[in-house]
Amino acid sequence: MAYRWAAALEQAAGLPELAQVYGERERILRATIRTLYWDAGRELFADTPSKKMFSQHTNTMAVLADVVSGEAARALMLRTLTAPGLAKGALYFKFYMHQALAKVGEGDRYLDQLDDWRGMLATGLTTFAEVVDAPGRPSRSDCHAWRASPNIELMRTVLGVDSAAAGFSRVVVRPHLGQLKFVEGTVPHPKGLIEVRVEAAGNVSVDTPVDGEFLWRGTRRELRAGANRFTIPAG
């Protein structure tokens, strides 16, 4: 992932030769990871070449780094949630797991992954804790920024608003309602506000200060700066 980001930065800075170097190193590393760490029997990536240890961390990052893609990535993330014997990602790492689920088309599962956060709210916390309290293991911090990822993902995953170009010059709206009947929210943008309402019935309202695209239920609609109103048929 770092090589990919470096390549994009060098390309944007007008250094395509360096971008090509980083891109090639990324390609080689991706292939090497697949060769050394993939366990065909368990259909999981191992933590080490000896393939004795497995974790949600390694498999999640394999998806985010495009070591695996498409339907294979989707299947891998679903196994990562349920396979026995995997080291579990702590609350901070759920940020990456939730990103990976959305990336493979399983963003509608997001709201079902938030029981630990619901538990914190039920105990009266007004900010999110570093770890889930357990007997003999109290949380060390009741105000932990990295555990506050729902503050971002409710807007980026559920409401679906994200940047689609450098400097947020374009917007993409890719909602994941899960079992909700509608989602509605506002995201601040350098040029104004992005206001979105999406109903499970298919009615969509997007007011945006920049152009972009709307993606939902396998349908793509172009967004123009200003008011956008349309209906997406179910299924």
SS3 133: coil
Nearest-angstrom CA–CA distance, 176 and 127? 24
Domain ranges of the chain: 159-235
pLDDT at 58: 98
The reported pTM is 0.90
Average pLDDT (181-193) is 97
Average pLDDT, the chain: 94
| CATH 2.60.420.10 assigned to 159-235 | yes
Which residue, chain included where needed, has tokens 């090639």? Answer: 24
pLDDT at 235: 66
Nearest-angstrom CA–CA distance, 43 and 145? 34
Average pLDDT (145-171) is 95
pLDDT at 23: 97
Please work out, in degrees rounded to the nearest 5, the angle formed at the alpha carbon of residue 20 by the alpha carbons of 14 and 23: 120
pLDDT digits (tens, 9 = 90+) for 206-216: 999 999 999 99
Nearest-angstrom CA–CA distance, 24 and 88? 32
In contact, 137 and 82? CB cutoff 8 Å: no
pLDDT digits (tens, 9 = 90+) for 85-97: 999 999 999 999 9
In contact, 117 and 150? CB cutoff 8 Å: yes
